[in-house]
Amino acid sequence: MKVAVFGLGYVGCVMAACLAHDGHQVLGVDINPTKVDLLNAGQSPILESGLQELVSMGVQSGKLGATVDHQSVVQQSDISVICVGTPSRDNGSLRVEDVEHVCEQIGTDLRNTPAYHVVVVRSTVLPGTVEGRLIPILELASGRKAGVDFGVCMNPEFLREGSAIRDYTQPGLFVIGELDQRSGDVLQAIYQSIPLSPIRTTLRTAEMVKYTCNAFHAMKVVFGNEIGMIAKANGVDGQEVMQIICQDHHLNISPTYLRPGFAFGGSCLPKDLRAILYRAKELDIDVPMLGSILQSNHGHVQTAIRMVEKTGKHKVGVLGLSFKPGTDDVRESPTITLIETLIGRGYQVRIFDQTIQLARLIGANKAFLEKGIPHITTLMCGSIDELVDQSDVLVVSNHSPEFRDVPGKVRPGQILIDLVGIAKDGQLPEGQYQGICW
Ligand SMILES: NC(=O)c1ccc[n+]([C@@H]2O[C@H](COP(=O)([O-])OP(=O)(O)OC[C@H]3O[C@@H](n4cnc5c(N)ncnc54)[C@H](O)[C@@H]3O)[C@@H](O)[C@H]2O)c1
């Protein structure tokens, strides 16, 4: 295919050279004449392992070239890929002016391009940018309609400098956000050499995935370092600790605990986090990320409370008391905090939890429940139907399988607040269904 690559920085250069190596006809566009001259002379404008060879081969074979003049580049291509920079402003916000400028140029050129063309955003931009800012610019400049006359994709780049070519050719994640299927099909066709099927999704999801990856990576580095500092101060080798941690692919390096939902609770996580934080404090070790976890978790419970308050309804039915299904351990269950707060604010709360047999609760578990919700016996319902009957708002707080039928029981005017994602399947209309993180 014929591909125009706008921006010959780390991302654009690697992509242009790899596409040319795969046999595509690639023309790079950059406002920097030095980069363009270098590339046309077969020299890589950036230092990246293996790139010099690819650029040199690409230019020699006539598959790779560059220009400062964007005009007519679009007309000669099937796809335009935008790889220009999106740096931070002083206040941390993202500068997307270069991407917008390129969209204006591509849009202007699209006016005179009768053939179907796909515009691909490879630069990192915040969710909603492509739909809210870039497509309108493209449509205005071209006088044509996205999804009809031209296609649009968001194709985040996950390469790391230093291993960029390997990351490009063998990515761990390959995501195509598409305006419509046709756009995604055209883009996917240029990636035939990549040994991984793309995950095809919406433009916004693709934008968000990129930020999630980088936030996750940054968080992992800081987590490892904070743990390492506490370990060292306790006479333990932090690197050995983290190596051991990473060998658990069931709970540690796994999707477990990575699903947006309700706050954590239970008898261990809050207690053990408090204890290790106290030890860090005793040893004068600053661990701001670990120190912020409980606060963030508490804030999440407050979010759930606000969701109930915003409904304007006062009869609340809570499904699930324990912090997860299949246990009667209610110690530090965030649902107890939710219920306690709602009762304190005058809400009429009813509760259903099949696993909590009040008569059988003993010790710390029983004490926690009775302290949090003193008249709990009078609030418990014997069945889901009874609870649904007596409530105007339903709150699903854990994943118990018997809650899956709840959406089917919701009557008109009733609202279901889903804290775990059990009823995401679209059974309920938007006004009646609210998910906490979706
Ligand atoms: N560098 C990385 O490792 C990396 C990895 C993944 C994603 N990204 C993202 O990819 C995007 C590009 O990053 P980069 O590091 O390659 O940027 P960069 O700063 O190295 O290169 C950007 C290039 O765009 C050119 N440019 C600016 N305006 C232009 C215009 N109007 N027309 C043509 N060219 C223009 C610049 O001259 C420059 O050569 C950013 O959004 C970045 O966040 C970067």
| Per-residue model confidence as pLDDT tens digits over 53-110 | 999 999 999 999 999 999 889 999 999 999 999 999 999 999 999 999 999 999 999 9
For residue 197, pLDDT over 70 is answered with yes
The answer to whether 268 is a known catalytic residue is yes
Q: Are strands 64-67 and 348-352 parallel, antiparallel or unpaired?
A: unpaired
Dump pLDDT digits (tens) for 329-353: 888 899 999 999 999 999 999 999 9
Among the candidates 174, 205, 236, a domain finishes at 205
Rounded to the nearest angstrom, the distance between the alpha carbon of 82 and the centre of ligand 1 is: 9
Query: Which CATH number goes with the domain that contains 342?
Result: 3.40.50.720
The verdict on the CB of residue 323 being under 6 Å from ligand 1 is no
Find, among 189, 112, 124, the residue nearest to 150 by Cα: 112
Active-site choice (13, 18, 268, 437): 268
- Read off the pLDDT band of 316 (50, 70, 90): very high
Among the candidates 205, 233, 268, a domain finishes at 205
- Read off the pLDDT band of 358 (50, 70, 90): low
Same domain, yes or no: 196 and 305? no
Find, among 350, 357, 412, 409, the residue nearest to 385 by Cα: 409
The Cβ of residue 420 has, within 10 Å, a number of other Cβ atoms equal to 23
Q: Which of 84, 124, 125 to mutate to test the pocket of ligand 1 (most atoms within 8 A of CB)?
A: 84
Torsion angle in degrees (nearest 10) through CA of 236, 238, 239, 242 = 110
Under 8 Å between Cβ of 341 and 305:
yes
Same domain, yes or no: 153 and 48? yes
The verdict on the CB of residue 27 being under 6 Å from ligand 1 is no
Token look-up 């996950």 returns: 158
Number of domains in the chain: 2
Dump pLDDT digits (tens) for 99-129: 999 999 999 999 988 999 999 999 999 999 9
The verdict on the CB of residue 107 being under 6 Å from ligand 1 is no
Domain range spanning residue 324?
Answer: 296-435
Among the candidates 153, 186, 205, a domain finishes at 205
Which residues have a Cβ under 8 Å from the Cβ of 244 and sit 6 or more positions away? Answer: none
Residue 145 or 356, more confident: 145
Establish if 302 belongs to a structural domain.
yes
Shortest-distance Cα residue to atom 13 of ligand 1: 85
Find, among 362, 355, 311, the residue nearest to 335 by Cα: 355
Establish if 288 belongs to a structural domain.
no
Under 8 Å between Cβ of 167 and 19:
no
Establish if 286 belongs to a structural domain.
no
Establish if 221 belongs to a structural domain.
no
Mean pLDDT computed over 177-205 = 97
Same domain, yes or no: 323 and 186? no
